Structure 1
Amino acid sequence: MAELDDLFHTDQYVGPERLTDLCYKLICENLDIISIKGRRGHRILRKGITFPSEICDKIIEYAQRSEATEDDDCFFSIFKNLAATRLKHVKISNCSLTDTSVQTLVSHKLYDLELTDCSNVTEISIEHINANSENLHSLACYGTSMIIPSSLSASGSSNNYVQQLQYYGRDYQTRRYVFKTPNLKRLALAYVGIPSSEYALLLAGLMNLTHLDLSNSCNIDTFEFYHLVPNLVSLALYNVKVNTDPKSFVKNICQLKNLRHLDISQSCHKQGQFENPNKILSDLVTGLPQLVSLDIGGTNLAGRGVAERPINTNIEDTNFGQLSDIPGLASKIHKPLQFLGLYGTTHGACRRHDIPAKVVAGDANEDQILIAAHVCMDNKQELLQKVLSDLYHVFRFENCHRMDQALCTVLEAMEKHPAQKHIQISGSATLFYIVKMKEKGELVARMKKRIISTLLAGMSTHRDEETMMRNGCLALCQFRIPHDVMSNYETLVKVLLHSAKHSEPESFVQRIGIYLLNSLACQVEGKEKRLLGKLGCVKTMLELVEYRVETNIFDDVLEVAWSTMWNMTDETSINCERFLDEEGMALFLKCVQQYPHKEELLRNMMGLLGNVAEVEYLRIHLMQERYVTVFANLLRSNSDGIEVPYNAAGILAHMASDGIDAWTIEKPTRKEVLKYMVQAIESWDLNAERNINYRSFGPLLRLLDVYHTPPCQHWAAWALANLTKVYSFKYCALVVKEGGLEKLHTVIADSRPYERIKELANLVIENCCQYESHSDDVNVSHSVLDSEYLRLDG
């Protein structure tokens, strides 16, 4: 369907981002580049900077995607300098700007102004608009904004209220208009709640209007004020009750002879039920000769379908009704509508065969659903959430043929309506299936980033909604963590930490959140690890551990919480310090006492404490009899693997490396511990596979320099020998890179280390040499192959 393809432009996410987009993002994330903060926090454009409208409009657009508009009035004050800035087209949504900022914006003599869900804007802004309206062609106010006066009628109001209106120049009854915008072509005012008699006042003086949207408004009745807007080509009355006197409504609407688009769709079926629906629709369509687009979704105007076909006695008398499954549209058989909205119509009208329209919105198939979503996108939130639910079921139970269009649709819906919980829930569920079904590598980097950012925005807004958090986490699990989320690292950590702390204990949401946090703590550098600690990850993990210890619950969350702390303390001393400050050692002892045979748990805890022991100034906190006794006992652990005794030996090796004077406890003695260490090390299989990941051998190589205590060197040499033998492809190069071979040669040449240490050191050197030799052979082979190919090409 070519018409459907025209609605979506997925190619914008192919290739790298444009330089201009990157510049706008940089400016909006660092407003100090273009402005300085004045008193009271208001921003002032820097001297010497001048921006044309093309740049200013874009800055507002991109600022809303960042946190630049967090203090909205302060941000919009940048545009007070009319000599250095210029605005033309301004769209603002979900913003807390006030009338003051609206005054700043409209002082630029705007062409277009759109405000959506700007709840702090009041009717005072009307006067600011009127005072600067000479260029204004389009004005839209959607959602919860109170820009429309609560009452346009002074009747029934107190004298004091009337006096206030007169004082501020807003006695609408006296001046006989609301908007003084003579060149206005488009007006959208959703949720207008004024008496029917006051619409004449609201629309007074707007004779040039061609597009009018009064969706979700009250008291429209029969649209008797049609004569005020005679030049309309588009009229949207979504969710407006017009079935009280449909005959008069149709008569009045049909006076708009230029009307090309009419929307009378409903989300409430009660408001969409008409008597004699076939005749109402037929009269409406025949009375509007220019009509090419009609939305009757949620109504019964499409009739009952095939069963209502008239008997073909006289083709002229039946007005071709027998050729259409929608009797009221029989006159359009030979001149089909460009668009027909049938989403939610009674009797399944969108599933009929003979529909006189080129493009149909409905729920009969994937194309209709995508069209419906496009139509509902901006100001039909109730319908949009239903459409997204339909789209979700397409992915769950059927084969989706328009995955790229569906992806763009879902993302746009979630981005435009961040506060709508059900839109976010349905959208996130659909994103899970889309990302899961996409072939590996099919999603380009920019699209991945957009998906992740959109998910996180929804999760941040609805972080206490369990379904949203579950959907979001499951969708994020389809990406490479942490690689694909690095640009949103802090946001994701904050969301997951909140979920870990506030979701139901032992819930799926808590479990998956902890797994993601553990993934975020792994394979990242010190900056991100420090951020985890700064945001409270250590404290949160310990709270999860404490809950399970107190309730005597052993589950995977307990193990993963310790694993997360193990990962985030790796070569990150500040997080090790946080662990100690938060009484982590007390919980360590409790876990050892309650779960003495849980090998995975013990491994994770001992790995974490190994990181603590690597920090010289923190080892004093480990030098307590109750801790060292546990470490020594775990040296002789009879578990299946070597991870627990290996980590215990590492902790003790680092503690012993500080010398005899640093061993301040009486039991167990330093001599005993070193003896147990050597016995344990020699009992391990040098070919044992490991469940450990070293990013650096710095801590091990430092222990090779501890000549005053050879058992410390013994443990380090054994570790290097094991790792370079079993995982030569991974660790031999690391030994060479960090200067390990020089240290090993020095150990071999020194008389103080005993023979077994030197044997292990020699083994490490041999492993590294063999690996380098093999790598050279591979490189030579590749060179030969390349030469062969070059000769073949020649």
Structure 2
Amino acid sequence: MAHIDALFNSKQYVGPESLAELCFKKICNNLDIISIKGKHGQRSLIRGLVFPSEICDKIIEFAQKCDNIIVDDDFFLIFEDIIATRLRRVKVTNSKISDISVGIIANHHVTHLAFNDCEYLSKLSIEYINNNSKNLQSLSFRGCHNVNPVDLTSYIDSSVNYLKRGYVFNANNLRHLALERVQVAPEQYPILLSGLTNLTHLDLSNASNIGNFEFYSSVPYLISLCLYNVKIIGDPHAFVENIIKLKRLKHLDISHANHANGIYKNSNQILAELVNGLPNLLSLDIGGTNLAGRGVAEHPIRDNTRVCGGGGGGDDYYYGLCDIQGLACRVNNPLQYLGLYGTGDGACRRHDIPAKVISGDANDQQILIAARVCMDNKPDLLQKVLNDLYHVFRYENCQRMDQALCTVLEAMEKHLSEKHIQISGSATLFYIVKTKDKCQLVGQMKKRIIGTLLAGMSAHKDEETMMRNSCLALCQFRIPHDVMSNYEPLVKVLLHSAKHAESEGFVQRIGIYLLNSLACQVEGKKKRLLGKLGCVGTMLKLVQYRVDCSIFDDVLEVAWSTMWNMTDETPINCQRFLDEGGMNLFLRCVKQYPSKEELLRNMMGLLGNVAEVDALRPHLMQQQYVSVFANLLRYDSDGIEVSYNATGILAHMASDGIESWSVEQPSRDQVLSMMVEAIERWDLSAQRNINYRSFLPLLRLLDVYHTPECQHWAVWALANLTQVYPNKYCSLVEAEGGLEKLNNLLTDGRPYNRIKSLALSVIVHCSPNNTRWKQQETLQSSSDAEYSFDG
């Protein structure tokens, strides 16, 4: 076990992705590049393509990371042709593949094969592997409950009579074997391991009963033995006597996640016998047991064997320099690694421990080592370790933040289906990104964090705690800038949360705030995608629930704000709003909440976007709507915004001409008169809570000479914005041809004087001689340049 700094490779999280990685992602997200899809979803490799194992293995690896690919039997048909494709190292995780896919993979005579959480595999998979095992060096089944035989002497469990044929695995060259949750009787292990004489690494984690390991002679060349969560039911001394027959053993794991299953009588004696009997031992994990002793002075251990480092048989040895009495013989020959996570009596906090690297919970270094050790094969223990890491960030000060970040990301990526790992990981990520200087997070790292959070949210979208943690973590980033590469997955999971999370709950609330932030700061295609994914309908359902229940809260306001933002210059979303009953809810909200300024502003802003669409204005030309718009012209409780938006809606409607005004009451003339009255009440120097990306809708109204009142509203808006925010809006007026239209107003005889006066003020504001605008523009440009340089 190397030093802790060598355990974490942060380079994989920083810097740009390699060209190879980008190519594999492209292929896996577009499998039609290499394969043809049949009528029933099955795939086949395009004729003429030939791929070596270096490519095929990576395609399988990257395909399992893609959200839009289901790695199932249809997918593995791509590799059915063993001439055109080659497989060597294959790992399949959390897949619904059947034995058919195992047969396809095994036909390639693979060297390394691992299946994790593939619940539909059966014992037939073993037979497919046996038929093509001449090159097999490593085999692993974890979480595949139907694969492991239960009774090797019965036909009931399998169609194969293992007892009669004398073996389970026919793989003479196998070096590594991992079988999780084996349930055979202790006396049947010689059959289970028969013929595996070259085995050097054996993992029997969570086996139900291995007796006293009497079958040690079946695996005489073991270098590594993992018996994680295996309770020793028989005589522990007999168990130790059998284990120490494996003199080549370098790595031994007898740790437990449940401390109650790791209790030994005479624990110091047991550990001493074990360590004394394994002279080549480098790594030992006794986490979750009492083998570390109580850490207090006890009677000396009588050892009738020759102990490590010298001494004669039959002598008593007093160990004063070791706080774990059973390891006293390793004081001058410390272990490379000692696992003490979860041991009793504070073993990991003791001072004199004969090991170079220690896992435990005494500090962040020990916790990170514990996470590294149980990363791949101990998800139940990993969840506990991540909880400890979370508490370090919440209540203490983590000294190894970069390593912690790498650890959490890797844990969440490797154990996507483990709910509690995702919850603990997302909580820790929140504290990491909250604490860490954002400037130190390079783009690739931000992308990795956000992608990992989103994968966890998508896999556990109905888990409130997971969604809360992840949304809080995402709020630490710049929205939407940092999430653009994951824009669609984020929108989908937030919409699900908005629809299905507890009404009026925190998760629903923060999800809608994030959706509003996304809708506010994106344009074009991204706004249309929001509508396509159902954002308008989702927001309207939230509104309807609150109107039906007479609830007024911030969610109601933000739902309308989100629709306002997503309909901005996006006609298709405006159409969706009308098609899904938005106007009826608008009327109900106005009636129920007539004095809620923010709500009225948001609703009127949205309808202003609808009114800008020529084809949709006829839908607004109904007496019930026009009456509300006209009444709101007099609204001034919040300043000018509600009245301003109401005037804008009516200006766009009036711009279609007299013949298009089909409402008798209020009449067109009454409305136009009320519009002018409202405009003249507004303060031309008022600060605004509004953001224009384009002035084209306003500039279109400058050409409506048949109804000067429409021009009046548009030119007032330009005058206000260019006076209050010259550095932001003067250049926009000029860029979109506004100055020419304004000059035309000045020379035309139809607009009345007030319109011309306002038009002249806009021209003056935007004049090259306007030093205020130029100074502010120069300062803004300088600031932008400096920000870009720092970034």
Show the counterpart of 1:750.
Answer: 748
Please give the per-residue CA displacement for 1:659-689, whole angstroms capped at 9, x wherever unaligned: 1111101100000111111111111111111
Distance 1:728 1:780 in 2: 12
C-alpha contact 2:269 2:301 (8 A) present in aligned 1: no
C-alpha contact 2:270 2:291 (8 A) present in aligned 1: yes
How much does 1:771 deviate?
7.8
Q: Which amino acid letter does the alignment assign opposite residue 142 of structure 1?
A: R
Distance 2:293 2:95 in 1: 43
Q: What's the secondary structure of 1:92's corresponding residue?
A: strand
Show the counterpart of 2:214.
Answer: 224
1:273 aligns with 2:263: yes
Show the counterpart of 2:494.
Answer: 496
Show the counterpart of 1:408.
Answer: 406
Distance 1:777 1:464 in 2: 53
Distance 2:225 2:479 in 1: 48
Q: Which amino acid letter does the alignment assign opposite residue 37 of structure 2?
A: K
1:689 aligns with 2:662: no
Bigger drift between 424-433 and 745-754 goes to: 745-754
C-alpha contact 2:629 2:650 (8 A) present in aligned 1: yes
How much does 1:16 deviate?
1.6
How much does 1:50 deviate?
1.8
Distance 1:756 1:194 in 2: 95
C-alpha contact 1:320 1:331 (8 A) present in aligned 2: no
Query: Is there any run of 5+ residues in structure 1 with no aligned partner, and where?
Result: 785-794
- Written as runs of structure 1 = structure 2, the 5 A alignment for 1:92-171 is 92-154=92-154, 157=155, 165=159, 170-171=160-161
Show the counterpart of 1:557.
Answer: 555
How much does 1:746 deviate?
2.1
Show the counterpart of 1:201.
Answer: 191
1:611 to 609, 612, 625: 609
Please give the per-residue CA displacement for 1:58-101, whole angstroms capped at 9, x wherever unaligned: 11111111035415112111111222211111111111111111
How much does 1:150 deviate?
3.6
Show the counterpart of 2:251.
Answer: 261
Q: What's the secondary structure of 1:12's corresponding residue?
A: helix
Show the counterpart of 1:244.
Answer: 234
C-alpha contact 2:300 2:318 (8 A) present in aligned 1: no
How much does 1:319 deviate?
2.9
Please give the per-residue CA displacement for 1:600-647, whole angstroms capped at 9, x wherever unaligned: 111001001111111111111111111111111111112132110000
Q: What's the secondary structure of 1:321's corresponding residue?
A: coil
Structure 2 CA distance for partners of 1:783 and 1:31, relative to 1, 3 Å: closer
> TM-score, length-normalised on structure 1?
0.94
1:468 aligns with 2:466: yes
Q: What's the secondary structure of 1:77's corresponding residue?
A: helix
Show the counterpart of 1:321.
Answer: 319
Please give the per-residue CA displacement for 1:699-757, whole angstroms capped at 9, x wherever unaligned: 11111111111111111111111111211221122222222222222222222222221
Structure 2 CA distance for partners of 1:196 and 1:389, relative to 1, 3 Å: same
Q: Which amino acid letter does the alignment assign opposite residue 147 of structure 1?
A: V
C-alpha contact 1:309 1:327 (8 A) present in aligned 2: no
Structure 2 CA distance for partners of 1:502 and 1:656, relative to 1, 3 Å: same
Number of equivalenced pairs = 772
Show the counterpart of 1:626.
Answer: 624
Show the counterpart of 2:87.
Answer: 87
Structure 2 CA distance for partners of 1:437 and 1:335, relative to 1, 3 Å: same
C-alpha contact 1:87 1:108 (8 A) present in aligned 2: yes
How much does 1:220 deviate?
0.8
C-alpha contact 1:319 1:331 (8 A) present in aligned 2: no
1:590 aligns with 2:588: yes
Show the counterpart of 1:789.
Answer: none
Distance 2:685 2:459 in 1: 51
Please give the per-residue CA displacement for 1:332-367, whole angstroms capped at 9, x wherever unaligned: 000000000000001110011111000000000000
Q: What's the secondary structure of 1:225's corresponding residue?
A: helix
Distance 1:514 1:609 in 2: 20
Show the counterpart of 1:334.
Answer: 332
Distance 1:768 1:121 in 2: 73
Show the counterpart of 1:393.
Answer: 391
Structure 2 CA distance for partners of 1:780 and 1:537, relative to 1, 3 Å: closer
CA RMSD after TM alignment = 2.1
Distance 1:6 1:138 in 2: 25
C-alpha contact 1:102 1:128 (8 A) present in aligned 2: yes
Distance 1:69 1:242 in 2: 43
1:524 aligns with 2:522: yes
Q: Structure 1: which 4+ aligned runs deviate by more than 6 Å?
A: 771-784
Show the counterpart of 1:191.
Answer: 181
Show the counterpart of 2:306.
Answer: none
How much does 1:12 deviate?
2.3
Q: What's the secondary structure of 1:418's corresponding residue?
A: coil
Please give the per-residue CA displacement for 1:536-560, whole angstroms capped at 9, x wherever unaligned: 1111111111111122211111110
Show the counterpart of 2:380.
Answer: 382
Show the counterpart of 1:294.
Answer: 284
Distance 2:100 2:452 in 1: 30
Q: What's the secondary structure of 1:187's corresponding residue?
A: strand
C-alpha contact 1:243 1:272 (8 A) present in aligned 2: no
C-alpha contact 1:211 1:232 (8 A) present in aligned 2: yes
How much does 1:530 deviate?
1.5
Distance 1:724 1:44 in 2: 62
Distance 1:405 1:384 in 2: 16
Distance 2:418 2:779 in 1: 60
Distance 2:369 2:84 in 1: 42
C-alpha contact 1:50 1:84 (8 A) present in aligned 2: yes
Show the counterpart of 2:364.
Answer: 366
Q: Which amino acid letter does the alignment assign opposite residue 202 of structure 1?
A: L
Distance 1:264 1:482 in 2: 48
Show the counterpart of 2:672.
Answer: 674
Q: Which amino acid letter does the alignment assign opposite residue 280 of structure 2?
A: Q
How much does 1:34 deviate?
1.3
- Written as runs of structure 1 = structure 2, the 5 A alignment for 1:504-515 is 504-515=502-513
Show the counterpart of 1:179.
Answer: 169
Distance 1:252 1:129 in 2: 31
How much does 1:770 deviate?
4.1
C-alpha contact 2:115 2:144 (8 A) present in aligned 1: no
C-alpha contact 2:13 2:406 (8 A) present in aligned 1: no
Bigger drift between 752-761 and 231-240 goes to: 752-761
Distance 1:271 1:524 in 2: 56
C-alpha contact 1:388 1:410 (8 A) present in aligned 2: yes
C-alpha contact 1:341 1:372 (8 A) present in aligned 2: yes
C-alpha contact 1:266 1:272 (8 A) present in aligned 2: yes
Distance 1:722 1:728 in 2: 9
C-alpha contact 2:2 2:336 (8 A) present in aligned 1: no
Q: What's the secondary structure of 1:6's corresponding residue?
A: helix
Show the counterpart of 1:535.
Answer: 533
Structure 2 CA distance for partners of 1:309 and 1:501, relative to 1, 3 Å: farther
Query: Is there any run of 5+ residues in structure 2 with no aligned partner, and where?
Result: 303-309, 783-791
C-alpha contact 2:601 2:642 (8 A) present in aligned 1: yes
User: Percent identical across equivalent pairs?
Assistant: 67
C-alpha contact 1:319 1:330 (8 A) present in aligned 2: no
Structure 2 CA distance for partners of 1:364 and 1:747, relative to 1, 3 Å: same
Bigger drift between 758-767 and 267-276 goes to: 758-767
How much does 1:391 deviate?
0.1
Distance 1:251 1:741 in 2: 95
Show the counterpart of 1:574.
Answer: 572
Distance 1:236 1:310 in 2: 30
Show the counterpart of 1:65.
Answer: 65
Q: Which amino acid letter does the alignment assign opposite residue 195 of structure 1?
A: A
Show the counterpart of 2:788.
Answer: none
Distance 2:349 2:678 in 1: 75
